[in-house]
Structure 1
């Protein structure tokens, strides 16, 4: 698997590159010192996995991930701070390594990638028939543990990643369903449901207000909450789609 090291510390990149030499299946194809450089490297090198620092000049590692368009590489965070672990797993990070990175923890993180890499190299299975797109007036069955609902899509204001599942916001309920945002986005009407960022899809009919936010992004307020920050790339798309 091809790896890209993203860290503003040259010493940290050098130490990690040295550790990775013990793992023959990993090839370090490049290094980046900050988010802008990383975006160029990702586009040019198409790495399978990012070893990503969180605190960097300009943009954080989280902001870098939110700005990427299309499927992002697998991510293993490498940081000196432990308080961002929950946020890291909310963006589907494979692992969260505290500096100084030990060879034992690095081996455990790489062990999580091997099955994914093997699956990616396996012969493609016959594609399943595409499910039809759901309209806003359609009703869907939602089950969370022992509780069940039959709810109209029009009444769902937000889908939000929560760990390995997706949280569904409607009325006062917040059930979790075992679906990814990619699976949901493929069946939702794009005229009604908009992918605001890597973690959230909003129902445009529930938008109560829009405000400019940091770095030319947008902040959207939904009726009955919550507020949603639109990523930089999606903010541009939002303006383009909904402007006269």
Structure 2
């Protein structure tokens, strides 16, 4: 089993390498300090498993995974325990909280071995998941506060650190979802990906004006202004033109 260790801390990488020496079937083929370095290493080394930190300079571990067309198996290694649910939603094999204990590491590696040697069983195609309509209501929880929100009332979804912030009424809760995930669930006739950071509700557009380099700037009713990327500006014009 080949492994790539991704962590911005040199001491954390060295400690994990030391722990992995106890497992003779594991070969650490490389290290990376941040997402850009990791992408290069993943492409060049094609490791079986990533030992991946979450908080790193530049992009987080979740953002790195979202940027990959195909990712190796992932074992998260982090000093924070609050991202465990999101990690397993990203199909992680395991979630190890630093300092990593050898017994927990052994359990995680067992999961990796089982996944790597298991034959690919034929599976029936999953039924297509229909997009949520603007009239659908969704449950939103942020800390101790909860809402049942009609999607038509949501003006904007915006990346905020490792979370996505939802704009509705005067509320701005955070949810542990990526924009990529939300795009698969939202009706593309209503919700538009304006740029890498934001999805807007077209029903809340108040005004549109030309912006720099043939891009657009959109003002949302009772909401912020959103700059549309050059690529998405082209798509926006095509989408809404006769």
Fold shared by both chains (TM-score > 0.5) = yes
Residue 103 of structure 2 corresponds to which residue in structure 1? 104
For the residues of structure 1 that align with 2:87 and 2:199, how far apart are their CA atoms? Answer: 21
For the residues of structure 2 that align with 1:5 and 1:131, how far apart are their CA atoms? Answer: 34
Q: TM-score, normalised by structure 2?
A: 0.60
For the residues of structure 2 that align with 1:211 and 1:4, how far apart are their CA atoms? Answer: 34
For the residues of structure 1 that align with 2:47 and 2:71, how far apart are their CA atoms? Answer: 9
SS of equivalent to 2:5: strand
* Within-5 A mapping of 1:37-52: 37-52=37-52
Residue 7 of structure 2 corresponds to which residue in structure 1? 7
Higher relative contact order (CA 8 A, sep 6+): 1
For the residues of structure 2 that align with 1:5 and 1:100, how far apart are their CA atoms? Answer: 15
For the residues of structure 1 that align with 2:135 and 2:68, how far apart are their CA atoms? Answer: 29
Q: Does 1:94 align with 2:93?
A: yes
Q: Residue 196 of structure 1: CA displacement?
A: 6.0
Q: Residue 43 of structure 1: CA displacement?
A: 1.0
SS of equivalent to 1:22: coil
Tell me which structure has the larger Cα radius of gyration: 2
Q: Do the aligned partners of 2:35 and 2:59 also contact (CA within 8 Å) in 1?
A: yes
SS of equivalent to 1:157: coil
Q: 5+ residue gaps in structure 1?
A: 135-139, 141-152, 159-168, 175-194, 224-234
Q: Residue 207 of structure 1: CA displacement?
A: 2.0
For the residues of structure 1 that align with 2:43 and 2:126, how far apart are their CA atoms? Answer: 32
Seen in structure 2, the aligned counterparts of structure 1 residues 173 and 10 have a Cα distance that, compared at 3 Å, is closer
For the residues of structure 2 that align with 1:15 and 1:72, how far apart are their CA atoms? Answer: 24
Aligned residues: 175
Seen in structure 2, the aligned counterparts of structure 1 residues 87 and 237 have a Cα distance that, compared at 3 Å, is farther
Root mean square deviation, CA, Å: 3.5
Residue 157 of structure 1 corresponds to which residue in structure 2? 132
Seen in structure 2, the aligned counterparts of structure 1 residues 37 and 114 have a Cα distance that, compared at 3 Å, is same
Residue 64 of structure 2 corresponds to which residue in structure 1? 64
Residue 54 of structure 2 corresponds to which residue in structure 1? 54
Among candidates 201, 209, 226, match of residue 184 of structure 2: 201
Question: Runs in 1 of length 4+ with deviation above 3 angstroms?
Answer: 130-134, 169-174, 202-206, 208-212, 220-223, 235-244
Seen in structure 2, the aligned counterparts of structure 1 residues 221 and 50 have a Cα distance that, compared at 3 Å, is farther
Superposed CA deviations along residues 63-93 of structure 1, whole A, max 9, x for unmatched, are 1111112x21111111111121122112111
Residue 227 of structure 1 corresponds to which residue in structure 2? none
Q: Do the aligned partners of 1:210 and 1:221 also contact (CA within 8 Å) in 2?
A: no
For the residues of structure 2 that align with 1:118 and 1:237, how far apart are their CA atoms? Answer: 42
